[in-house]
């Protein structure tokens, strides 16, 4: 389950930011997760709860924000939103698309005390 290692990385970032800004506790962590990031959300929720034990984010609520997949269509030269990596262009039906976003995962912000 790679979600566990993702949460370990998130914990490192949270703890570093907590040290840098004298944070006593983190109440909420908001993650932006792209449609193509390959993250299993239920597994990420479970891993977050386990990995955050004993940290400043032990009681933090995890909020996940979905980001759409975007691709450049080389048939109509538009950037379009797509549901799957192999989807045709929703505007022109073309098949020459290059995904440009949707595989990212990042901490958007944290609510702290």
Q: What is the mean pLDDT of the chain?
A: 96
Contacts 24+ apart (CB under 8 A), 8-16: 8/51, 10/48, 10/51, 10/107, 11/51, 11/52, 11/55, 11/57, 13/107, 14/52, 14/55, 14/56, 14/57, 14/107, 14/110, 15/55, 15/56
Number of domains in the chain: 1
Q: Which residue has the tokens 């990420």?
A: 44
Domain that holds residue 57: 2-67+101-112
CB 110 within 8 A of CB 30: yes
Question: Is 10 part of a structural domain of the chain?
Answer: yes
Percent above pLDDT 70 for the chain: 99
- Looking up residue 57, the CATH number of its domain turns out to be 3.30.2320.50
Range 67-75 average pLDDT = 97
CB 33 within 8 A of CB 62: no
Question: Is 76 part of a structural domain of the chain?
Answer: no
pTM summary value: 0.87
Question: Is 44 part of a structural domain of the chain?
Answer: yes
Question: Is 81 part of a structural domain of the chain?
Answer: no
């Amino acid at each position: 389950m790679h979600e566990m290692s993702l949460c370990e990385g998130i914990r490192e970032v949270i703890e570093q930011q907590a040290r840098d800004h004298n944070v006593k506790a983190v109440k909420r962590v908001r993650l932006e997760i792209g449609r193509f990031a390959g993250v299993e959300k239920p597994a990420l929720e479970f891993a977050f709860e386990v990995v955050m034990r004993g940290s400043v984010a032990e009681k933090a609520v995890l909020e996940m924000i979905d980001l759409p997949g975007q691709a450049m269509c080389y048939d109509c030269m538009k950037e379009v939103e797509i549901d799957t990596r192999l989807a045709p262009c929703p505007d022109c039906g073309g098949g020459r698309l290059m995904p440009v976003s949707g595989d990212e995962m990042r901490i958007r912000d944290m609510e702290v005390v």
